Structure 1
């Protein structure tokens, strides 16, 4: 999976999130895709830039990646 693919997924998760749940979905993205991001040493800022959402959300993706060590998403 490439940075552009991750950006597309992040954009979809953000845009399809219910009102008021966008930041939670960004955290969830970080949790779900942390392994791919870390294994490939991808830049979180590059992923957020590819998604088209505000670059300030890179901090929120980073929080999700860090949380991935402690949480498992439910289906």
Structure 2
């Protein structure tokens, strides 16, 4: 998956989050797509730029990537 597609998914997860859960969904994005991001050595800031969200959200995506080692997503 390329960075632009990941940016689209990030924007969708942010936009579709319930009120007050936008940042949590950014963390969830990092958890969910950590393998793709790490495997392809993508820069988080480039994904955030592709999403059109604030650059400061790169930190939140990075937190999600770090958490991915420790959590399992519930369906």
* Structure 1: gaps of 5 or more residues: none
In structure 1, the partner of 2:21 is 21
Task: Tell me how far apart the structure 1 counterparts of residues 54 and 18 of structure 2 sit (CA, whole Å).
Answer: 18
Compute the TM-score of the two structures, normalised by the length of structure 2.
0.99
In the TM superposition, residue 3 of structure 1 has moved relative to its aligned partner by: 0.1
In the TM superposition, residue 55 of structure 1 has moved relative to its aligned partner by: 0.6
Name whichever structure is richer in helix by fraction. Answer: 1
Task: Tell me how far apart the structure 1 counterparts of residues 53 and 15 of structure 2 sit (CA, whole Å).
Answer: 9
**Secondary structure, in 3 states, of the residue corresponding to 2:56?**
helix
In the TM superposition, residue 48 of structure 1 has moved relative to its aligned partner by: 0.3
In structure 2, the partner of 1:31 is 31
**Coordinate RMSD, CA, aligned:** 0.3
User: Matched residue pairs, number?
Assistant: 75
* Structure 2: gaps of 5 or more residues: none
Compute the TM-score of the two structures, normalised by the length of structure 1.
0.99
